[in-house]
Every structure is written in C-alpha cells, then in structure tokens.
Amino acid sequence: MKAPPCSLPFLTLFLLLNPSSAHADLSKGLQAAREQRWEEAYKEFKGPAAAGNSNAQVNLGNLYFKGLGVAQSDNRAFDWFEKAALQGNVLGESKLAILYFYGLSVPADHREAAEWFLKAAEQGDAGAARILADLYSHGDGVEKSPEEAYLWASVAAELGHPGGEALRNELASTLPPTDLNRALTRLNQWREEQDRRVQDAAPRALEGPQEPLAPDSKSTIKHSSQTSTKASPLAKTKTHPATTPKKGSSHRKRTKKG
C-alpha cells in the first residue's frame, strides 16, 4: 500500500544574515548561488566545507546532487551530506535520509533512511517528521505503529507542515484512548526538548534562517514492506532508540553504487 504524497524539499541553500568574517566565504557562495553563478558558488563553498563548516557541506552536496557548477555526482553529494549529518546538521540528516530512501549513491535502505529522518525530525524538521509519520503508518523501514505515526504527524503539524494535521486527525480517530494519551504525553516531551533547542540556538541567531532557493522535482516517496524495530527515543520502553553515529565516522558500512 502506498502512503499519501509527502513534500520532500531536496535542495535548500542557507541564507546567513549579517555573517561574521568567519563566514565571509560562505556568504559569498550564497550570494553567487542566489545569482545562479554556480561555479563561483562551488569555489566559495569548497574551502569552508573542507574546513568542517556543516552548512557549506550541505550546500556543496546540493551542487553535486544537482550538477550545478560541477559534474553531477550522487556519490560526492552523499559524502558531503554525510559529513554534515554526522555533525548534527538537520538538513544534512534529512538529505542523507532521502538518498538512503531512494538508493542514490548507495543501495536503498529504508531502515537507515528512517533513522536519519528521525534525527532530523527530533531537531524540528517538519518535512522529516511528516515522512516519518508515513513510515510508521505503513511499517516502511520501521515497525508499524499508529502511535508513533500520530506522534510525528502531530510534530509535523505543530511545525507547520500542511499534511501533518490531516494525518494526525485521521490517526486520532483510530487510536485507542490509552495509546492516544501516551502519544500526547510524548508529544509534550518533544515540545519541551524543542523549546530547549530554540533557547540554546538563540545566541547563534545571527547565523540566520534557511531559505529554499531551488526546490527539487521529487515530491513523493513510495513505500515498501521493509521493517525494523527502530523507533523514536520518545517511544515506548520496549522499542529501541536510534543509534547515534560517532562524529567523523560512517554511521553504517555501505557500498557505493558505481
């Protein structure tokens, strides 16, 4: 059975407001990208990305993935998204999840994709939360769980995703009261964690919001019957939390395509 379409924003470039001198190269790259001077953008992002700037790494991955200013390469895109994701960059996590889901650069692995969607959703990525709700609803890459699906659909709705509220309401009508109450308790825990993240991020606010500049054409995901016991760290005690990858190392040994 196929899930309802989900919006998958693929290519998002950062907009940094009032960048400091430390971000000068990144700022120049963003300006070049806005003006579609892709080769220049690539040159400006390359240095900061190599130095470990996770935002630059995501942007460099975007350029490789779309073949803008550089030869298109899913493998190179994967490498840069993975570097950013291993630093906890939320866009890096969600993009890595998408590549795993579709089998781009690596064999398709919906379980691994679900783990990275979870990490991004926990940090407040609305699209990742909505996709995660679908995965739990259909048992795709995770053990089927209407309770988990309701939790992440609710998170997506609270973060403003247009498809979150409809799925949340649909699931609410089918959940037993005990499961619904448990999901609502965990939703409150997520809200508290999100509030703490917002407060922690406040001193870094001048590094700016994200601005989508060139959305990708992919807009849906299709579901398979792959399952696992992975679930949210907010889940019931009998489920298993997602494994946190070590910084600077691959989350899972993989075999690249090509």
In this structure, is residue 74 part of a structural domain? Answer: yes
pLDDT in tens, 225-248: 333 333 333 433 233 333 333 333
Of residues 194 and 11, which shows the higher confidence score?
Answer: 194
Place 254 in a pLDDT band, splitting at 50, 70 and 90.
Answer: low
- Mean pLDDT on 195-221: 51
Whether residue 178 is predicted with pLDDT greater than 80 in this model: the reply is yes
- Mean pLDDT on 19-28: 60
148 and 193 together in one domain: yes
pLDDT in tens, 122-139: 999 999 999 999 999 999
130 and 187 together in one domain: yes
In this structure, is residue 172 part of a structural domain? Answer: yes
In this structure, is residue 63 part of a structural domain? Answer: yes
126 and 228 together in one domain: yes
Count of Cβ atoms closer than 10 Å to residue 142 Cβ: 29
Q: Domain tally for the chain?
A: 2
Tell me the CATH number at 29. Answer: 1.25.40
Q: How many CA atoms lie within 13 A of 27 on its CB side?
A: 12
> Which of 37, 44, 74, 75 lies closest to 59 in space, CA to CA?
44
* The pLDDT of residue 241: 33
Per the structure, the complete domain to which residue 70 belongs is given by 23-87
Mean confidence (pLDDT) of the chain: 78
User: Position of tokens 């993935």?
Assistant: 65
In this structure, is residue 145 part of a structural domain? Answer: yes
* The pLDDT of residue 196: 87
Whether residue 1 is predicted with pLDDT greater than 70 in this model: the reply is no
pLDDT in tens, 45-81: 999 999 999 999 999 999 999 999 999 999 999 999 9
72 and 181 together in one domain: no
Of residues 171 and 221, which shows the higher confidence score?
Answer: 171
* The pLDDT of residue 3: 41
120 and 186 together in one domain: yes
Tell me the C-alpha distance between 63 and 71, whole Å. 9
* The pLDDT of residue 194: 86
Is residue 14 within a helix (H) or strand (E), and if so which, with residue range? strand 13-14
118 and 159 together in one domain: yes
Contacts of 72 (CB under 8 A, 6+ apart): 64, 65, 66
- Mean pLDDT on 156-185: 94
Of residues 167 and 26, which shows the higher confidence score?
Answer: 167
* The pLDDT of residue 2: 40
Tell me the C-alpha distance between 56 and 23, whole Å. 10
* The pLDDT of residue 218: 37
80 and 144 together in one domain: no
* The pLDDT of residue 255: 61
Of residues 4 and 157, which shows the higher confidence score?
Answer: 157
Q: How many CA atoms lie within 13 A of 213 on its CB side?
A: 20
Tell me the percentage of the chain whose pLDDT exceeds 90: 63
Phi and psi dihedrals of 18, rounded to 5? 50, 55
71 and 136 together in one domain: no
In this structure, is residue 211 part of a structural domain? Answer: no
135 and 228 together in one domain: yes
Q: Does residue 246 sit in helix, strand or coil?
A: coil
In this structure, is residue 5 part of a structural domain? Answer: no
In this structure, is residue 40 part of a structural domain? Answer: yes
123 and 196 together in one domain: yes
Query: Which of 6-10, 54-58, 65-69, 178-182 shows the lowest per-residue confidence on average (mean pLDDT)?
Result: 6-10
In this structure, is residue 183 part of a structural domain? Answer: yes
The answer to whether 186 and 179 have CB atoms below 8 angstroms apart is no
The DSSP annotation for 155-202 comes to: HHHHTT-TTHHHHHHHHHTTS-HHHHHHHHHHHHHHHHHHHHHHHHHG
- At 122, list the tokens: 């926990």
pLDDT in tens, 90-107: 999 999 999 999 999 999
29 and 133 together in one domain: no
* The pLDDT of residue 197: 82
User: Position of tokens 């490789």?
Assistant: 64
- At 31, list the tokens: 């300006």
Is residue 210 within a helix (H) or strand (E), and if so which, with residue range? strand 210-211
